């Protein structure tokens, strides 16, 4: 669950409490410390569940869908919160969420249509690297999650300043290229999956035409 307050008039004490005073009003919210721990735990469990499923031979279609669903909705919820904290970046945060949701949904849909054994199989060189290199996949996912989480933390606690720039701004800037590349990979996901679905539709039309001619 994410905090539901703005960042105006927050004191250091407010950041670590369950209540905050925003524009003179007392607002119930979740502790930033609790949010950080929960989101970090979610990321760790996300890496663990796939390993556990493979190790104990519990992999399933439903599990793969549920894994993607929980990941995407969690990030979407965080982006929705960030839209409130950073209204000047509203469009880009919305686009990030849209690309993330649309690309993964279409990719899984294409996987099901073609009855592929796994959604991690792809002939596209970018996606092949993304899914076959666990180091690269882990780095991209961790960096992407870190970027949005750092933005969330920055809204409440910008950190100490160095040369006039807050620590969280530095860290967010470092993580931003990773998040950007992750979004570009998602676009590759979307385009490749769309091509797969179009090819599937084309083959279905051809097959129907052949059947009609036989009849």
pLDDT for 108-130, tens place per residue? 888 888 877 666 777 788 888 88
**What does the mean pLDDT of the chain come to?**
79
pLDDT, residue 31, reads 60
pLDDT, position 208: 87
Q: Which residues are catalytic?
A: 71
Residue 55 vs residue 215, higher pLDDT: 55
End-to-end CA distance of the chain: 58
- Of all residues in the chain, the percent with pLDDT exceeding 90 is 27
Q: With 90 as the cut, is the pLDDT of residue 18 above it?
A: no
- Grouping H, G, I as helix, E, B as strand and the rest as coil, residue 15 is helix
Bigger pLDDT: 64 vs 169? 169
What percent of the chain clears pLDDT 70, i.e. is strictly above it? 83
Q: Is residue 86 a contact partner of residue 93, using CB atoms and an 8 Å limit?
A: yes
Region 77-81: what's the mean pLDDT? 88
Asked whether the predicted pLDDT for residue 179 surpasses 90, the reply is yes
Least confident of 84-88, 120-124, 128-132, 179-183: 120-124
Confidence class for position 4, pLDDT limits 50, 70, 90: very low
At 39 the pLDDT is 73
pLDDT category at 178 given cuts 50, 70, 90 is very high
Residue 107, exposed/middle/buried by CB under 10 A (0-12, 13-18, 19+)? buried
pLDDT, position 97: 93
Cα gap 126→40, rounded to integer Å: 27
Reply yes or no on whether the pLDDT at 1 is more than 50. Answer: no
Confidence grade of residue 167 (pLDDT, cut at 50, 70, 90): very high
Read off the pLDDT of residues 20-68 as tens digits, 9 standing for 90 and up: 444 444 444 556 677 777 777 777 777 777 778 778 887 777 777 788 8
In eight-state DSSP terms, residue 209 is H
Residue 183: which residues within 8 A CB-CB, separation 6 or more?
A: 96, 99, 100
Greater confidence (8 vs 77) lies with 77
């Amino acid at each position: 669950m994410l905090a539901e307050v703005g960042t105006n008039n927050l004191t250091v004490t407010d950041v670590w409490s369950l209540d905050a005073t925003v524009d003179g009003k007392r607002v119930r919210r979740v502790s930033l410390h609790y949010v950080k721990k929960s989101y970090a735990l979610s990321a760790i469990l996300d890496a663990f569940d796939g390993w556990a499923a493979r190790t104990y031979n519990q992999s399933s279609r439903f599990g793969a869908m549920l894994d993607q669903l929980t990941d995407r909705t969690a990030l979407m919820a965080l982006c929705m919160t960030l839209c409130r904290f950073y209204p000047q970046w509203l469009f880009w945060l919305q686009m990030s969420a849209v690309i993330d949701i649309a690309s993964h949904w279409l990719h899984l849909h294409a996987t099901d249509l073609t009855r592929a054994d796994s959604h991690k199989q792809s002939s596209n060189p970018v996606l092949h690297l993304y899914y076959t290199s666990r180091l690269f996949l882990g780095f991209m996912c961790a960096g992407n999650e870190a970027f949005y989480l750092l933005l969330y933390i920055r809204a409440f606690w910008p950190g100490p300043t160095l040369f006039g720039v807050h620590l969280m701004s530095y860290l967010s800037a470092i993580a931003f290229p990773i998040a950007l590349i992750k979004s570009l990979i998602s676009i590759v996901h979307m385009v490749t999956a769309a091509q797969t679905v179009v090819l599937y539709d084309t083959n279905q039309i051809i097959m129907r035409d052949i059947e009609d001619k036989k009849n």
